[in-house]
Chain A
Amino acid sequence: MEIRARSRKVQPHQRGRVKQLEAEAEELRLQRKRLKAENQTLETLKKLRTSMNKQCTDEEVMQMEEDSEDSQLLQLMARHTQLTDLLQAHHLIGGYDIIKTRQGKGVCVSVATNYEGVYLDTYNLEIDLKPKLRISRHNIPPFIPLNSLTEQCNLQSHFRVFLDTLSCHLNAFTGRKQQLKLVKEQQKSVEVMESNVLCSLLVLMLTVSKGKPLVLCTLEYADHTSCLPTRVHFECEDKQLPDSPEWKKNCSLLIKTPVHKALMTMKTMGHIV
């Protein structure tokens, strides 16, 4: 009687366990199905890529994939991966987009800028080749010292060096501009008091906490080819604050990390609101 009673007690427990296991099995089966499908997609993509690389005609590819209802989507995906790979390769070899203009009498160079993996503005230069290299038209803003760069780098003999230096200036400028944009977007409690067109000076008003005096933070970017400041300075009514170990740490943080990230860290540490 006792055993029977005990087994009766156990039974509902066991039944529950079985159900649980069954559900788990079902889930795993679904997962297997998903992975299989995924694997198949990847395989098809791979096939498509290979055929694309071999420059097969579009028709062949179409025939191969006619049965698949997502063929168009797959093709686009394959094309996308191919293009991203090409782009990456292009940038790996330090490529600029250069094309011939006016039947070879000139060239047009495009310098793309990016910051943290995001493409920003593209700048262009139209250059006459004869009688000597001369920039005839461009859309580079006037605060980038284009003329002195052409002299410094010797445009005639070191064209590549010139482009690299220019690209450096442009990337740093757009990077700083992007940082400022991100600060404005992400940090609602931080007030941008001053900035300039070159984004080489940034004055921020930081709130330590309610009721405490505000901190005026000045960032100077004297190196125009860098996204990081060369000098960070705090001003506060509480004279001791800038010398406190916390704020000394903040200072070195701001020197070493892009301003929007540094502010984020300072916020998580609770140094600013």
Chain B
Amino acid sequence: MDESIKRTMQRLVRRIPNQLLKPTLDKWGRLTAAQKQSLDFTQPKWALTERLLALCEENEWTAKHIIELEMIYVIDNPNQGMWYAFQLMDPEDDAASVELAQFKEQFKSHLRELVKHVSVKIKKHTDEAVWIRIAWGDGFTRPNHLKPTYVVHHLQTPYVFVSSLTSKQKPLLSQALVLSTRYNVIKDANLSGRKLTAIRDLLMRQYQQVFPTKFPSPLTEKNETVSNPCIEKEQSGAAANRLQMACEAFGDGELPQLQSAVYKLETKFKDPTNKTMTEQEEPFKCVIKFASTNLLESLKQCATSGIASTPVTPLLSSIPLKGRNYFVITDNGPGPTTQMHTSQK
């Protein structure tokens, strides 16, 4: 058997957690009933891997079969690795009518024109997402199945989500995508995270946003118990107002889970007490990074509890509003930079 197939299989099995191995193999459906019976899932991983490699040889599975298994696993567990969002811009007139078969064919042929050795597999998922797996090679080497790039695109939307893409491959993928989706430009959407579902929900506006309406929906309040009823009465109005503002800025219900937001400041240092720094010609460059397991929820809590001032500064509310978590701030850039300090924790 081909050594590379063996290595790919080995790596893949190692990646799949023990409890997911059985359901993933079942979904794949390449094992006969008897072979399935012969697998003992209580065995340690290395023993299982050995057994699967033996079966691989026995059934003469090719790279195609292993790729199938990998795609099943990745599609069912999309919240792994780092995902980057890209935005397609300037659509042609026929962009809205691109359909799957046409897209598949176009994408493959455009990419093959650019790269000699490339393996492309496209699969449509049940939620209307098109999943593309690309194993890259070059003029001399065969496609490397150990480091594939994954691309997720919903046809008729201007967004593309990409994981494991090198800077060398980026222009190639961009060109193939632009041509096959009938757009003219693709640009970095400045949004990334570990959870594909989160960045997708944020950009596709599939989370619960809150708007000021005449009949406000009852927002669930989690007020701490205040012993004095007078204080409670006095503060409940302000608290409800803060909650409403926080919900309008970040949303309600389950918020998309982002892990970080980065602000690159390229602004002049302003502090009347520090003359040497203020008189510097060059901007004072620094990077501010907010990190949390669920950043939007944390920021919302800050605004609700009063740690951050309301109305929420545009610097923070821009994350869900613009669907970005990377910002470069210059002196004539978006939002007054001084507000940053008030909201810093």
Query: A110 CA to B209 CA in the complex, in Å?
Result: 13
Q: Would you call B96 and A198 a contact (CB within 8 A)?
A: yes
Query: A168 CA to B213 CA in the complex, in Å?
Result: 22
Other-chain contact of B99, A101, A110, A136, A201 (Cβ < 8 Å): A201
> 8 Å CB contacts to B: which residues of A134-155?
136-143, 145
- Which chain B positions have C-beta within 8 A of A110? 211, 213
Chain A nearest CB from B248 CB (Å) reads: 8
Chain A nearest CB from B138 CB (Å) reads: 34
Q: Would you call A197 and B214 a contact (CB within 8 A)?
A: no
Q: Would you call B128 and A195 a contact (CB within 8 A)?
A: yes
> 8 Å CB contacts to B: which residues of A46-98?
97
Q: Would you call A197 and B156 a contact (CB within 8 A)?
A: yes
> 8 Å CB contacts to B: which residues of A103-150?
108, 110, 124, 126, 136-143, 145
- Which chain B positions have C-beta within 8 A of A201? 99
B157 at the interface (CB under 8 A from A): yes
Query: A233 CA to B301 CA in the complex, in Å?
Result: 53
A28 at the interface (CB under 8 A from B): no
- Which chain A positions have C-beta within 8 A of B124? 194
Query: A54 CA to B329 CA in the complex, in Å?
Result: 58
Chain B: CB-nearest residue to A194: B100
Q: Would you call B211 and A142 a contact (CB within 8 A)?
A: no
A200 at the interface (CB under 8 A from B): yes
Q: Would you call A200 and B211 a contact (CB within 8 A)?
A: no
- Give per-residue flags for A188-214: 1 if the beta carbon is below 8 A from chain B beta carbons, else 0: 000000111110110000000000000
- Give per-residue flags for B158-186: 1 if the beta carbon is below 8 A from chain A beta carbons, else 0: 11000000000000000000000000000
> 8 Å CB contacts to B: which residues of A194-240?
194-198, 200-201, 220, 222, 224
Chain A: CB-nearest residue to B207: A139
- Which chain A positions have C-beta within 8 A of B158? 142
Question: Do most interface residues of chain B lie in helix, strand or loop, or is the interface mixed?
Answer: loop
CB-CB under 8 A for A224 and B96, given A197-B128, A197-B156: yes
Q: Would you call A198 and B212 a contact (CB within 8 A)?
A: no
> 8 Å CB contacts to A: which residues of B173-219?
203-206, 209, 211-214
B141 at the interface (CB under 8 A from A): no
- Which chain B positions have C-beta within 8 A of A124? 209, 211, 213
- Which chain A positions have C-beta within 8 A of B203? 142
A18 at the interface (CB under 8 A from B): no
B321 at the interface (CB under 8 A from A): yes
A-B contact count (CB 8 A): 63
Other-chain contact of B157, A139, A194, A197, A222 (Cβ < 8 Å): A197
Chain B nearest CB from A114 CB (Å) reads: 17
A23 at the interface (CB under 8 A from B): no
> 8 Å CB contacts to A: which residues of B137-165?
154-159
Other-chain contact of B211, A108, A145, A194, A195 (Cβ < 8 Å): A108
Q: Would you call A97 and B214 a contact (CB within 8 A)?
A: yes
B97 at the interface (CB under 8 A from A): yes
A99 at the interface (CB under 8 A from B): yes
CB-CB under 8 A for A197 and B212, given A140-B205, A141-B204: no
Query: A180 CA to B183 CA in the complex, in Å?
Result: 28
- Which chain A positions have C-beta within 8 A of B99? 194, 196, 201
Other-chain contact of A139, B96, B211, B213 (Cβ < 8 Å): B211
> 8 Å CB contacts to A: which residues of B289-335?
321
Q: Would you call A143 and B214 a contact (CB within 8 A)?
A: no
Chain B: CB-nearest residue to A125: B211
- Which chain B positions have C-beta within 8 A of A141? 157, 204-206
Chain B nearest CB from A140 CB (Å) reads: 7
Chain B nearest CB from A271 CB (Å) reads: 26
- Which chain B positions have C-beta within 8 A of A196? 99-100, 128, 154-156
- Give per-residue flags for A140-181: 1 if the beta carbon is below 8 A from chain B beta carbons, else 0: 111101000000000000000000000000000000000000
Chain A nearest CB from B160 CB (Å) reads: 12
CB-CB under 8 A for A97 and B213, given A141-B205, A201-B99, A224-B96: yes
Query: A185 CA to B159 CA in the complex, in Å?
Result: 30
Query: A222 CA to B93 CA in the complex, in Å?
Result: 12
Query: A126 CA to B213 CA in the complex, in Å?
Result: 10
Other-chain contact of B155, A136, A197, A222 (Cβ < 8 Å): A197
Given contacts A97-B214, A108-B213, 14 further A-B contacts (CB under 8 A): A99-B212, A101-B212, A108-B211, A110-B211, A124-B213, A137-B321, A138-B205, A139-B209, A141-B205, A143-B154, A145-B96, A194-B100, A196-B154, A198-B156
Sort A-B residue pairs by CB-CB distance and give the 4 closest, nearest first. A124-B211, A139-B209, A198-B156, A143-B156
User: Which residues of B are at the interface with A, using a C-beta cutoff of 8 A?
Assistant: 96-97, 99-100, 124, 128, 154-159, 203-206, 209, 211-214, 321
User: Which residues of A are at the interface with B, using a C-beta cutoff of 8 A?
Assistant: 97, 99, 101, 108, 110, 124, 126, 136-143, 145, 194-198, 200-201, 220, 222, 224
